[in-house]
Amino acid sequence: MTQTFTREGRSKYIGGSDIHHITNQPPWGCKRRLWYEKKLYPYDEEPVVTAAMRRGTALEPIIRKEFAKKFNYRIGKDLPIIDDAPEWVGGNVDGIILPGKGNKNGPGKGNERGPGIAEFKAPGSWAYNAMMGEGLSNGYIYQGQYYMWSRGVEWCHWGIMPIEAWELDCPKLERSEIIIDIMREDCEEFWELLKGDKPPEPPLDTLAGHCNNCPFTTTCKGEEGAAEIEIVKRSMAAAGPGYFVIKDEDLSRLVDQRQSFAVIEKDAKGEVGGMKGQILDMMRDLNVEGAILKNWKVKRSHIIRSMFQEKAFQKQHPELYDEFCSDAEWDEIRVRKLTDPDKELFLKGERP
């Protein structure tokens, strides 16, 4: 099929980047949002091209070059979609790994398996660290399986480089007929929904997650629901004191992990400290000082503390104390178990 990459063109097929929406994969996947997009509903707010999106586009050629060099790969253009593919199959891959190392005399020492899918990503450091600790996210896995099936190949190789570090991680993914069958059923069901006028149900946890960057908030939630979402967005952006109900799965998982390590903190001080720094970074990115998560209440405090603690010196030489005393500043987190009222707030998505 001939593909165009305008909004109207993308409405005529399902691409690999749509699969995480169809399967409601966290953190942002929403089948309902994709339904409005494919049906060409007018935007309530024009989608914002985020810094992360611009970063990914700008870094793709760099990642491609480093990836090909690391594995002696020859990266070619997209393969045709398989002949017996359903009408809705589309999308474009980042590259195809071709046999050989790319010299004019034919195949060399590179890939000897036959063609494979090459995909390149440039996530933030916290998303990268979570993924490298737990494996590829489900969204990436479904995207890779979709491209392997639609191009008739057996393997996919990822080049993943976080923006904060010149570090290339390259997990491989093998074709799974079980995942492909499930994915195809979900896509077929979604394609049938597009023929009707009733949108699918949204994911359960949406208020401060999926919805705060969705261009269809009024269309989906109505005027009152959109106003509620806007209040949440403005409250988060204000960076004011107090707790906010945050249903961000990555932050929640990170705090869970930190607390698990804290139980054996004496043997895992490095792990706890590193996760503590990641939690602080993520809360700064979310622009909140407190968060009610699935299992924890987290408070970020900005601390200014004197580092000169020699009381005897201060007592004996008060005139010199100010000269030798220096201050240091940092943010701190404090984590405690949720109370029953806190849990009710989390379920309702309300701010205390």
pLDDT reading at 286 higher than 90: no
Chain segment 27-83, per-residue pLDDT in tens: 778 999 999 999 999 999 888 776 677 777 888 899 999 999 988 888 998 999 999
Phi (first) and psi of residue 138, to 5 degrees: -60, -35
pTM of the model: 0.64
Chain segment 151-164, per-residue pLDDT in tens: 999 999 999 887 66
Cα dist from 224 to 42, 95, 219, 229, 267, whole Å: 18, 45, 11, 9, 50
Phi (first) and psi of residue 310, to 5 degrees: -80, 90
Q: How far apart are CA 68 and CA 74, in angstroms?
A: 6
Query: Which DSSP category does 208 fall into?
Result: I
Domain ranges in the chain are 7-193, 239-348
Buried b (16+ CB within 10 A) or exposed e, 198-228: ebbebbebbbbbbbbebbbbbbbbeeeebeb
Chain segment 188-239, per-residue pLDDT in tens: 999 999 999 999 988 765 555 578 778 898 999 888 888 887 776 766 555 4
Paired with 229 in beta bridges are none
Q: Give whichever of 60-69, 287-296, 303-312 has the largest mean pLDDT.
A: 60-69
Q: What is the pLDDT of residue 106?
A: 41
Residue with the two structure tokens 């178990």: 337
* Interval 79-93 mean pLDDT: 94
Q: What is the pLDDT of residue 252?
A: 80
* Interval 5-20 mean pLDDT: 92
Please tell us whether the domain made up of 7-193 is placed in CATH 3.90.320.10: yes
Nearest to 279 by CA among 239, 331, 211, 233: 331
Q: What is the pLDDT of residue 79?
A: 93
Q: Give whichever of 174-178, 255-259, 341-345 has the largest mean pLDDT.
A: 174-178
pLDDT reading at 345 higher than 60: yes
* Strands of the sheet with 290-292, listed across from one edge: 244-245, 290-292, 296-306, 327-337
